[in-house]
Structure 1
Amino acid sequence: MYQSILVPVDGSDQSRAALEVATRLVAADAQSLYVLNTQEAPLAEDGIGKVAGAPALNAEELVQQKGREVIEQVYQQVGIDSQQAQPIVRAGKPAQTILAEAKRLGVDAVVMGSRGNSNIKSLVVGSVSHRVMHVAPCAVIVVG
């Protein structure tokens, strides 16, 4: 059992499966299950976050909103709530952000899907999970 686990999620089936595995691997008395969504920052352009009749969201607000939506969707699919896992939303490149958060949080393990939401379905292990496996300062468990 691990005391602290970071689970990057992107809404893919693999990230959902990784969260399911992580809920079984974290110690029952541990309060350190972190669910991370990384959003690439939107390009600065007119109309970012505009919704008819509502004020425009800035780039950071848009990242936070989209990230929270992804995390909430995965929570519902797995059947957990915010009392069981701490949501984290960050803007940036996925592999770099996952590695930075693993280090910042000092987690025992990262549990992640083998592939995320990308157009490249033929790779056995995606480039993000491959990079995290080789650079992370902790154990990395890749779920297929």
Structure 2
Amino acid sequence: MIGSILVGKKPLVTVGTDTTVRQIAALLHEHRIGAVLVIDADHILGLVSERDICRCLHTHGSGVQDLSARDVMTSPVAVIDSHACVSDAMAIMTDRRFRHLPVVDDGKLLGMVSIGDLVKRRIEDAEAEADSLKHYISS
């Protein structure tokens, strides 16, 4: 389940609508992450990713640094329930062509998973299944 991936992850990095792209880029670099959520009182307004910044850099040039999160964010943001399975999350991300998915239960933001988190979990699950089969065969 998606919720189990959130255990042990770094705290979620969020920004307000007036946060500049310059500040967002600094946060992405500092925390070694690819996206931040734009929120207002625990309500998700949008998401700003490295891809959004690159898209706006192409459109607006170097002036993009002074734009606000409101100007560059992707909105609305798709979300997933913590009880959903990894394959469902991967399908959403593949279908919609994005790499970050907020996890929300009953309107409450719990965190965010990346495609890297999901791939890592799928590999761990496959290795555990292989080990289990090896153990079963050798017993």
Q: Give the TM-score band, short-chain normalised.
A: under 0.3
Q: Normalising by the residue count of structure 2, what TM-score does the alignment of the two structures yield?
A: 0.26
More helix by share: 2
Q: Which of 1 and 2 has higher RCO (CA within 8 Å, sep 6+)?
A: 1
Q: Which has the larger radius of gyration?
A: 2
Q: Normalising by the residue count of structure 1, what TM-score does the alignment of the two structures yield?
A: 0.26
